Structure formats: structure tokens, C-alpha cells
A and B are shown apart, each in its own frame.
Chain A
Amino acid sequence: MSWRELPIGGIILEAGNSVKRKTGDWRVLRPVIDQERCVRCYICWMYCPDGVIEIRDTPYRTKAGRIWNITFEIDYDYCKGCGICAQECPVKAIELVEEVK
């Protein structure tokens, strides 16, 4: 592609095309949610700078017998491993583990 084919002024014509760039491979540390300890408080979801905490309608039953109607999961395609979720989690339910062992 030359300068002729580029849209002028660096305009991006396709809105939301950042989904095409998977940033998950930047990660050194991977956050892992312990569903047993998670109290579904939404704090990780609010703090995540990349919006990769996803709320699923999957029910979860803890070993103690408590039933949650939702589950939080991380979209590892885009999570950059910044660790903010683990830092902010009030019940220490998110652990950072090394991506490459």
C-alpha cells in the first residue's frame, strides 16, 4: 500500500477496529479468578482499564453451598496483565501467575 491508498489525515474509517489487535500476548503475569472466594462485587470489572472482565450468566455453586447467578471471567485475548484487578480485589480472589513457567 502507498500513500495514495491511505485514507487522508490518518483517518480511521472502521470504527471499533481495535478488536482486531489482540493485545493478550503482551502479558507476563496472568490474573486468575478464584471463583470460590469471589464475592461478585464488580470492583475488578470497574477498575479494569481494558474492559476485559466479562460478566457471564453462568451460575456457580461454592463448596459451602452458596449459589451465585453470575460469574466473572477474563478475556485473555486482550488482558495485558497489568494486575490492577488483583490489586483492587477486596477479598484477594485474583492471583497473578507467571504466563510462562
Chain B
Amino acid sequence: METKLESRVRQTRVILNSNYAAAYAVRDADVDVISAYPITPQTGVVEKLSEMIAEGELDAEMIHVESEHSALSAIIGASAVGARVFTATSSQGLEYMHEVLHIASGMRLPLVMAIATRALSAPISIWNDYSDLMNVRDTSWITFIASTAQEVYDSIIEAYMVSEDPRILLPSIVAYDGFWMSHTYEPLYIPEDRKTVLEMLPRRPRYTLDPDNPITMGSIVNPDWYYEIKYQQVEAMKEAYRVIREADAKIEENLGRVYKPVESYLAEDSEILVLTYGGIYGTLQTAVDLLRSEGLKVGALRLRLWRPFPARDLKTLVEDAKTLIVVDRAISYGASIEGPVALETIAALYREGLYPTIASFIAGIGGRPVSEDDFRDMVKKALELGERALKIGSIHWGVRGAEYE
């Protein structure tokens, strides 16, 4: 992300964690209905929103529910009658929502959800990884992965812009690292006057449940038409890429911040590129500086957009590199390459006709810190293994006793 010094909208500098940044974005988007169930590390988002509603800063309905399954169901109902809605969750909460995630996207409702990512039980871990998010990649939700509190704020505004676009009408997820971001205070800029945000988010007509003009939603569909209706989602998800780029341009124009589906740092002349996602991108950039000072031509890439997958952007950035290292924070058990983003990246590059040497690493599982030194050592390990790296599958970084030969 780059920040331009001047933006159309006047902004104020605040110190917030990513949970609170999400809450401020929801407030500024003038959301009508919120429903959520508390789970660490997401709870701060809805705590803050409850406070805002109590203090009259936000005129919204907060529906208290007994589970995440109900939280998502409640906002599906509210969205179906035309409300702008929001929920947030983590880990098991997202898993408990799973079947409803498909219903939300299948009904083409423009919901927005924040996810403070967290490892999955068992064993119980409240700490961060991306296993929860990766499990919902096939639910037809547009998925952004932010790397700063600023980006969490901007992405939630952008998510409403994209989801509510009549060409799209799919729900969106804005994910960020549980704890590493959800509980980290850092500076960001937010608009002084929320009217300027609302100008970016006009209420647009869509099909809603209205007793005066009755329609039916969520009906059964026989095999003769079901596939065509699901194919509409395939097309909407592809189209979402273009609409996201338009929204990126509007964010740049109004708020002065530049976002791309794949962010890059010193990638242009790099022979070695490291691709990752979420908050550790900052740590990776520091590691790149370290490696450059040692004479290695290394650059960093960050996947900001997970669904739809930005295959072409990745191609353009990787084209001139010899080695691509993918650092995942989730495990696809039993897969040929166990890092989910590595798997997807390899498929995308094959599609685009690029065949760099690829190494897949998995790190940071269950909240284990990933430092600059870890990234440096991963790069060195990948260079040492060369073509052999991918034969291993994925390298489980720092696991005691794990051997690869």
C-alpha cells in the first residue's frame, strides 16, 4: 500500500488496533443491522460497535444470538429485506457458520464480514493462523486479506462498494491476523466526516423482500436449472475482479491510498520473490532489506485479494524471477502441496505459462511468531534446495523433528 500525501477527503490520524479499525469502518458505512457472537480474537470488533450504538454514534440494530450459525442467519434475513449488514468472527465461529456461508452467497446478498483469523481446535489454540479462512475459500465469498489496521478500515469500505455493486451481489470477507493485527495498536487515517464515506457508498437498488412487491428467495431448484444459477456465481466472482479494481481507484481518489490485488516490494529487479499474506508482510519487507544488504536480489509479494484469485497480476510480477517462495499460514492436510496459497499459485502460474522454481513453506501455525530471521533462513533454505524444494511438498518451518529428504 502506498499513501499519497493529499486526498480528496479530509482525514484524521488515530491509533487503533485492527478490530477497532473494522468497527470504525462499519460505523462510517452506516450499517443498519449487526449480529455476532463473541469469540477471541474478534470480540473487540463487536464490543466497539456495541459501544458506538450505546453512545448514539451509530444508529444500528445489534441482534444478540446464541451462536455464529444464528448470527449469519440473522443478517441474511436483514439483508434480504434491504438492510446494510455486518458480522465478525474467528476460528470455530467461522466453521460453525460454514453451511450458512453458502446460503448467503447463493442468495446473492451483499453481506460484509470481518475475520480475525485464528487457528482451529483441536488442540485448542486461541492464537493466529489462517486455517479458518482457508477452509471457506470455496464458499463464493469475495475475500480480502489485509496487512495493516489502515487496510482493514479501507477494505471494509471497499467490500461494501464491491458487494453491493449490481454487477456482483456477492458477500465479502475482510480477513486480518488475529492478535498480530487484531490486538496491535498502530496509526491510521480515517475520514473526519463520515458523509464523505457515505458518498462512496450510495444505496443501490436490488431485489429485496417487500410485502408490496412480493418475490420468493431461497427456493428449491431442480437439476435442469441449478447449474445455471451456480454458474451465475462463477461469472459474478470473475467480474468482481474488475469491480474491485474500480473500487481501488475510488479509494485512491477519495482517501489517497493505493491498493493492488498483489502488493509488491522491490520486486522489479528481483531474482527471488517471497509471496505471503496478512500482517507478516511487514516483517517480510524488513527481511528483504536484510537480504538485500547481504547482496541477494530478493523482493516481497503480498496476496491482498484471495477470491477472486489475481492470477494475471501474479504472472506480471513473477515473470522475471527465477525463484518463487510461498509462505503459507495454513495446512491443507494430504494435499500434494500442503500450503493452500502455494497450491493455488502453482495452478495460476501454470495456467499463465510460467514455470519458476517454487518452494512452499508453512510457518506461524498456532500463533508461533515469524521473525525477519525466519524469512531470511527460509530464503536460504529454498536456494539451497533449488528444484528439490517442491518435490518435498511443503516445508513445515521450525517443526521439531520434521525431516525432508
Contact = CB atoms under 8 A, between A and B. Distances in A.
Direct contact of A and B (CB under 8 A): yes
Interface of A: 2-3, 6-13, 15-16
Interface of B: 106-108, 169, 207, 214-219, 221, 225-226, 228-229, 231-232, 235-236
Contacts, number: 47
B229 A3 contact: yes
Contacts of A15: 214-216
B219 A10 contact: yes
Contacts of B232: 3, 6, 8-9
A50 to B, nearest CB: 17
B108 A8 contact: yes
A52 to B, nearest CB: 21
The binding surface of chain A is classed by DSSP as loop
25 contacts: A2-B228, A3-B228, A3-B231, A3-B232, A3-B235, A6-B225, A6-B228, A6-B232, A8-B108, A8-B207, A8-B229, A9-B107, A9-B108, A9-B207, A10-B218, A10-B229, A11-B108, A11-B207, A11-B219, A12-B215, A12-B219, A13-B207, A13-B215, A15-B215, A16-B214
A10 B221 contact: yes
Nearest to A12: B216
A13 B210 CA distance: 11
Nearest to B228: A3
A16 B231 CA distance: 26
A23 to B, nearest CB: 15
Nearest to A3: B228
A2 B169 CA distance: 19
A15 to B, nearest CB: 4
A13 B217 CA distance: 9
Contacts of A13: 207, 215
Contacts of B216: 11-12, 15
B268 to A, nearest CB: 41
Nearest to A5: B228
A90 B219 CA distance: 37
A95 B137 CA distance: 57
A6 to B, nearest CB: 6
Contacts of A9: 106-108, 169, 207, 217, 229, 232
